[in-house]
Amino acid sequence: MSDAGRPHPADRPEPIDVLLVAGGRYHDIDYARRELLGLLAEHDAIRVTVDSDYRNLDALARSRLLVTYTCDVRPDAPQERALERFVREGGRWLALHGTNSALDFTEGGVAAPRCFPTLARTLGSQFVAHPPIQPYRVEPVAPEHPLVAGIGAFETDDELYLCELHDEERLVPLLDTHFRGEAPGFTESDWSGADRHLVQYLRPLGSGAVLYNTLGHCRGHFDMRPVMDWYPRIERCSWERPEYWELLRRGIRWGIGAL
């Protein structure tokens, strides 16, 4: 067979290993997984391993990029250390929506147990509460940064994440929003003293970094089981905003070193 027309090996792109972790509770994980796989497939060199939690440490170790869309997925201590090491040693992590969440349903409301301290420090934040889903304005903090340049302020209808920040002085804010008030249904419900809340930020760590975006809530009819058998409406929130899709695309390009 002739080699005419075949690219020389030196000209062939190297495959880019990506681990996508999509799993957890109270969200339409199937929807998010499908849409993220579609975005990753826009890059021919990307080869994806998919899992629902952090058990596949071999896949993590060989990956250049980790993408996570989870809710209440709690790594054990060895997994936490592996995630921290992945970033410190040069890995990039695109962390989405509930990746920083742990939820306990108690008689006093939904609690956010501080049960994965290493994960929270690695991510730079832990979810604590959110007000009811409602429209709010997302604004650029660093409008010249390539991850957000040209996107500008936009309105979205999503869960507005109220978080406890870690290593805050080292976080690089990219998008934020403003909120003072109550988060009914959560045990830590009083946010009257707060105002500015990060929506997207970079968290440098060692020779790698985390890019965290809190947007992207989604839920279908069956995703609140066992709390309720049938959730009355389908929620897509920021997935219906073109700005969110652009943020995701840029996040993936950042993660593979193409931005």
Per-domain boundaries in the chain: 9-255
At 4, the pLDDT band (50, 70, 90 cuts) reads: low
Phi, psi of 128 (to 5 degrees): -120, -45
Taking only the tens place, the pLDDT of each residue in 12-39 is 889 999 999 999 999 999 999 999 999 9
Instruction: Report the 10 Å Cβ neighbour count for 253.
Output: 15
Superfamily of domain covering 9-255: Class I glutamine amidotransferase (GATase) domain (3.40.50.880)
Cis ω for the linkage preceding 226 (within 30 of 0): yes
Give residue 117's identity as a one-letter amino acid code.
Answer: P
Instruction: Report the 10 Å Cβ neighbour count for 127.
Output: 24
Taking only the tens place, the pLDDT of each residue in 67-82 is 999 999 999 999 999 9
Taking only the tens place, the pLDDT of each residue in 74-106 is 999 999 999 999 999 999 999 999 999 999 999
Question: Does the reported pTM lie above 0.85?
Answer: yes
Helix (H, G, I), strand (E, B) or coil at 78: helix
